[in-house]
Amino acid sequence: MTHIGKNTKSTIVSKGISAGHGQNSYRGLVKVLKNASNARNYSQCDSLLLGDKCGAHTFPYLEVDNSTAIVEHEATTSKIGEDQIFYCNQRGISTEDAIGLIVNGYAREVINKLPMEFAVEAQKLLQISLEGSVG
Amino acid sequence: MLIIKNLKASIEGKSILKGISLEVKPGEIHAIMGPNGSGKSTLAAVLAGREFVEVTEGTITYSGKNLLEMAAEDRAKEGIFLGFQYPIEIPGVSMVNFMKTAVNEHRKHKGLEPLSASDFLKMMRDKKELVEIDSKLANRSVNEGFSGGEKKKNEIFQMAMLEPKLAILDETDSGLDIDALRIVANGVNKLKRPDNSFIIITHYQRLLDYIVPDVVHVLYDGRIVKTAGKELALELEEKGYDWIKKEVENNVIA
Q: What's the pLDDT tens digit per position in A85-111?
A: 999 999 999 998 999 899 988 998 888
ipTM comes to: 0.92
What pLDDT is attached to residue B128? 87
CB nearest A91 (choices: B49, B50, B162): B162
**Owning domain of residue A49:** 1-79
Question: In Å, how far is B128's CA from the nearest CA of chain A?
Answer: 18
Put simply, whether A112 touches B (Cβ < 8 Å) is no
SS3 B131: coil
What is the domain partition of chain B in residue ranges? 2-90+164-249
Residue type, B3: I
Regions of chain B with pLDDT less than 70? 252-254
A11 in the same domain as A50: yes
Residue type, A122: A
CB pair distance less than 8 Å for A87 and B88: yes
A73 in the same domain as A91: no
What pLDDT is attached to residue A3? 97
In whole angstroms, what separates CA B42 from the centre of its chain?
Answer: 12
CATH of domain B2-90+164-249: 3.40.50.300
What pLDDT is attached to residue A134? 59
**Widest Cα–Cα separation across chain B:** 62
A58 in the same domain as A45: yes
Q: Per-residue pLDDT averaged across A123-127, rounded?
A: 84
What pLDDT is attached to residue B106? 94
What pLDDT is attached to residue B203? 82
What pLDDT is attached to residue B252? 60
Q: Which residues pair with B32 in a beta bridge?
A: B201, B217
A75 in the same domain as A12: yes
Number of domains chain A contains: 2
Whether B201 and B216 have beta carbons less than 8 Å apart is answered as no
What pLDDT is attached to residue A123? 85
Please give the Cα distance from A123 to A128 (Å, whole number).
9
Return residues 81-100 of B near A (CB < 8 Å): 81-82, 84, 87-94, 97-98
What pLDDT is attached to residue B109? 93
Q: Per-residue pLDDT averaged across A56-76, rounded?
A: 94
Please give the Cα distance from A123 to A108 (Å, whole number).
9
